[in-house]
Amino acid sequence: MKENMTIGITDARELTSNALAIVSKLSEILSKFGLQLKAPKTSRRLLSTGKDKYPSWFSNVDRKLLAKIDNSNIKPNAIVAMDGSGHFKTIAEALAAAPKQSNVRHVIYVKAGVYKEYITVDKKTINILMYGDGPRKTIVTGNKNYVDGTPTWKTSTFSAIGDGFICRSMGFQNTAGPSKHQAVALRIQSDRSAFFDCRMDGNQDTLYNHANRQFFRNCVISGTIDFIFGDSPTLIQNTLIIARRPMDNQVNTVTAQGKSDANENTGIVIQNCRLVPEQILFPDRFKIATYLGRPWKQYSTTVVMESTLADFIRPEGWAPWAGEAFEDTLYYAEYNNRGPGASLDRRVDWKGYHKIDKNTAMRFTALSFLLSRENWLPQTGIPYIAGLRS
């Protein structure tokens, strides 16, 4: 049975890979015959670039819901409160009672408190909007880790799988510590998911962008090794990214993107963010190396653009993956960054590293990277930068 399942999964991956390859080459083939692949005139138009917009997969209903949260004028479907003043005392209970496969947005308000729970928003629990009293007030915390025998993906304190998950004003922690190695705070597999005013704190592997389209805005993400990692189309905007102090024999790598198929439309894009060391790391920030990323897989794709890089970022910018030679096949790029760590004079000279121009950078904006197939982000009600800042 296990062998048959493995063969089936392998066949499915090969079929998907072949399909992606065919689609990616179609425009190229048509152009050789003087033809173009055009969308019909009746298809939806994407938003204009250069201004703050609402994420396009957010419906008008979602935008109004988030506006009501801002004005403290929303009536949630469920309230979670540890003191018993809500409908449920735990987040798990509220999710268990939520409707399954519902096309209607289900709103869960989680009151202030430290919730020691391991949460999974399962595949059938879709279109959840969960919000708290602030990322330092409503916190979900855990400490599962790899060293103590848990596989990396199962170490996550909070996992969102059901599509359309939106979260606002909550914190997610994994407190295992640097000596415990892989310890995920938040794992996202939900398509068209969005996080606004949230905080993800951990050490190694804090934020696992496992799969499907994801958007983060006005968040805080902290960690040490590979603390933003995975293989999804992920756009992170206007976020504070904090490198923490690792163990003395370790170095910091902000990202570890895991694209293993060149035809996948996946990658990590960091736009208009700030990359800084935490206070404890600051005195040793030049002794302990910090890199923008390293390639987890052969076609690792990461773009850092229009962001502020503090002086602790190593001049070479990027690190190799030990024991692997992905430098020619990866795609790492930088565009229009600022700050003392943004100088490109001494960056790596790998074949896969690029100092890109404005036209190329546009390929990694919200319009092109997340919304090219479906204009879903505005419907979330979360503001976002559609194109480039300038």
Inter-residue contact 91 to 80 (CB < 8 Å): yes
The CA angle 365-366-369, to the nearest 5 degrees, is 75
Q: Are strands 384-385 and 52-53 parallel, antiparallel or unpaired?
A: antiparallel
The encoded tokens of residue 166 equal 């939106």
Inter-residue contact 147 to 180 (CB < 8 Å): yes
Query: How confident is the model at residue 275, as a pLDDT?
Result: 98
Nearest alpha-carbon partner for 236 in 382, 341, 100? 382
Query: How confident is the model at residue 53, as a pLDDT?
Result: 54
Residue 83: active-site member: no
Inter-residue contact 144 to 155 (CB < 8 Å): yes
CA distance 255 to 226: 5
CA distance 91 to 85: 14
Query: How confident is the model at residue 56, as a pLDDT?
Result: 65
Query: How confident is the model at residue 252, as a pLDDT?
Result: 98
Distance linking the first and last C-alpha atoms of the chain: 56
Query: How confident is the model at residue 71, as a pLDDT?
Result: 57
CATH of domain 115-380: 2.160.20.10
> Which residue in the list 62, 163, 197, 226 is annotated as catalytic?
226
Tens digit of each residue's pLDDT, the chain (390 residues)? 433 433 444 444 455 555 555 445 444 444 444 444 444 433 333 223 234 455 666 777 777 777 777 656 778 999 999 999 999 999 999 999 999 999 999 999 999 999 999 999 999 999 999 999 999 999 999 999 999 999 999 999 999 999 999 999 999 999 999 999 999 999 999 999 999 999 999 999 999 999 999 999 999 999 999 999 999 999 999 999 999 999 999 999 999 999 999 999 999 999 999 999 999 999 999 999 999 999 999 999 999 999 999 999 999 999 999 888 899 999 999 999 999 999 999 999 999 999 999 999 999 998 777 765 567 777 777 777 778 887
CA distance 194 to 48: 20
- Residue 269 bridge partners (DSSP): 235, 303
Q: Where are the domains of the chain?
A: 115-380
